[in-house]
Copies of this chain bind each other. A is one copy, B any other.
Amino acid sequence: MSERGSGFVPGLEGVVAAETRLSHVDGEAGELVVTGFPVEELARRATFEEVLYLLWHDALPNAGELADLREALSQRRPLPGATLDLLRAAASEGAPPMDALRMATGTVSLGTQGTSPDTDAAYEDALAVVARFPTIVAAYKRLLDGEEPVAPDPRLGHAANYLYMLNGEVPGEGSVRALETYLNTVADHGLNASTFAARVIVSTRSDLVSAVVGALGALKGPLHGGAPGPALDVVFEIGEAHRAEAVLCEKLGRGERLMGFGHRVYKVRDPRADVLATAAELLYASDGDEALYELALEVERTAVALLAEYKPGRGLQTNVEFYTALLLHGLGLSTELFTPTFAVGRVAGWTAHCFEQLERGRLIRPQSEYVGERDREWVPMGDR
């Protein structure tokens, strides 16, 4: 077989590279299905562990199954000394949190079995990466801030323990519910670039740690998950609701892109935005800065109206970044934690896609089209 195929498809746009039961994105209808549930049905009710169980096993866990999964995860939260040493070294250079998370995740192979074509080793790897993501992110954030890491508390659930390790205080119920909802909302989203990278890697029957490390590498790119901070910056810049229209008009008049609006796939409203908007409303009502929430809402209304006027026919709606930023800010997370926290949720989907890919077991190996020279001849150094 030669490297000639059916013609170059830039970005593999429109090519179906996997069948999946994990999630379904319908951008025309503005729908996201996660393991058979509309995202709005699932995200606000489930704990993160329940969504993880659904993704891995395609069924809601009963009480015993859920307790077993919680226990398996909480046992695997502590970091080995080698991982902590590496995080300290990274913090001493001020490495970006996503780099630190990628580096530290590579070391999850220490203390587990790193090479795992068989399903049990894959399951062990999956438990370990899911369990350790929050510990790595929280420990690294504290080290960056010159503080010592807080040891995980095995009595707390996955989401609650993440906030606990970040802040050193057991979080309130409202904050935990908001974070569970966020993690559930972003847990899986079709075959995005990071999920696809994970599937390509594990399609060689490599191990899940390798696949998740590759996925993190893809996620940190600015065209994927690497730039979620600026969505809220415009809200802070506007500061007061009555200034929204003037500031936004000025930006649009200068041809600036408004961060937090528009999505490559969703042509109507992103269903995740609605889920996160409701979660943010609850969080800010119970626990937060209600004035900021009202301001954000006013900025959103104004921006959507102005975008319809300035860019008619484009259908630019509030995207998931806008309410992600509002929600995570309300939870006290700094902007540099937004992408790592996204990863804390998305690793559920990555590992589930790896299981699915291992079950089907076909090597993902497309073709390339050669566009270079031919029949070059060697030229000795003296003649170059």
Given known pairs A196-B200, A203-B11, the reply for A368 and B17 (CB within 8 Å) is yes
The distance from the CB of A2 to the nearest CB of chain B, in whole angstroms, is 5
**Residue in B22, B360, B381 whose CB lies within 8 Å of A63:** B381
Docked pose: A8 CA to B23 CA in angstroms: 16
- Rounded to whole Å, the gap between the CB of A143 and the closest CB of chain B is 13
Task: Tell me which residues across on chain B come within 8 A of A204, comparing CB atoms.
Answer: 193-194, 218-224, 226
Segment with Cβ contacts to B, from A98-106, A146-154, A166-174, A316-324: A98-106
Residues of B within 8 A of A114 (CB): 95-96, 99
Is A279 an interface residue, CB under 8 A from the partner? no
What B residues does A365 contact at CB under 8 A?
A: 11-13, 191-193, 196
Contacts of A33 in B (CB 8 A): 370, 372, 374
Instruction: Find A206's partner among B117, B217, B370 (CB 8 Å cutoff).
Output: B217
Known: A89-B82, A191-B367, A223-B363. A1 touches B265 (CB 8 A): yes
A75 at the interface (CB under 8 A from B): no
Q: How far is the CA of A109 from the CA of B256 in the complex (A)?
A: 33
In the complex formed, the residue of B with least CB distance to A210 is B217
> Which of B109, B206, B371 is the one whose CB lies under 8 Å from A103?
B109
Measured between C-beta atoms, what is the minimum distance from A205 to chain B in Å?
5
Q: How far is the CB of A29 from chain B (nearest CB, A)?
A: 8
Query: CB-nearest residue of chain B relative to A217?
Result: B210
Contact code string A1-33 (vs B, CB < 8 Å = 1, else 0): 111111111111111111111111111110001
Q: Bound complex: CA of A8 vs CA of B12, how far in Å?
A: 12
A215 to chain B, nearest CB (A): 8
Contact B201 A217 (CB under 8 A): yes
Q: Which residues of B contact A3 (CB under 8 A)?
A: 24-27, 190-191
**Given A8-B18, A206-B217, A23–B89 Cβ distance below 8 Å?**
no
Interface 9-residue window, one of A35-43, A241-249, A298-306: A35-43
Q: Find chain B residues with CB under 8 A from A291 CB.
A: none
The smallest beta-carbon distance between A155 and chain B, in angstroms, is: 19
**CA of A206 to CA of B224 in the docked complex: distance in angstroms?**
9
A115 at the interface (CB under 8 A from B): yes
| A178 neighbours in B (Cβ, 8 Å) | none
Q: Is the CB of A368 within 8 A of B220?
A: no
Considering the complex, give the chain B residue whose CB is closest to the CB of A28: B2
Q: Does A312 contact B (CB under 8 A)?
A: no
* A110, B85: Cβ atoms closer than 8 Å: no
Cβ of A76 under 8 Å from chain B: no
| Residue A60 lies at the interface, judged by CB distance under 8 Å to chain B | yes
Report whether B384 and A62 are in contact in the complex, using a CB–CB cutoff of 8 Å. yes
Q: Is A214 in contact with chain B by the CB < 8 A criterion?
A: yes
Question: Hey, which chain B residues are within 8 Å of A369, CB to CB?
Answer: 16, 18-20
The distance from the CB of A291 to the nearest CB of chain B, in whole angstroms, is 33
Residue of B nearest to A46 (CB): B378
The answer to whether B45 and A378 touch across the interface, beta carbons within 8 angstroms, is yes
List residues of chain B with CB within 8 A of the CB of A86: 82, 85-86, 107
**Best-surrounded residue of A13, A201, A360 (most CB of chain B within 10 A):** A201
Q: Inside 8 A of A9's CB, which chain B residues have their CB?
A: 15-17
| B17 with A371: CB separation less than 8 A | no
> Shortest CB–CB separation between residue A95 and chain B, in angstroms?
6
Q: Enumerate 7 A-B pairs (CB-CB under 8 Å) in ascending A order.
A: A3-B190, A19-B368, A19-B371, A58-B372, A203-B221, A205-B223, A224-B363
New contact pairs (4) apart from A9-B16, A11-B203, A197-B201, CB-CB < 8 Å: A10-B362, A41-B377, A45-B378, A193-B201
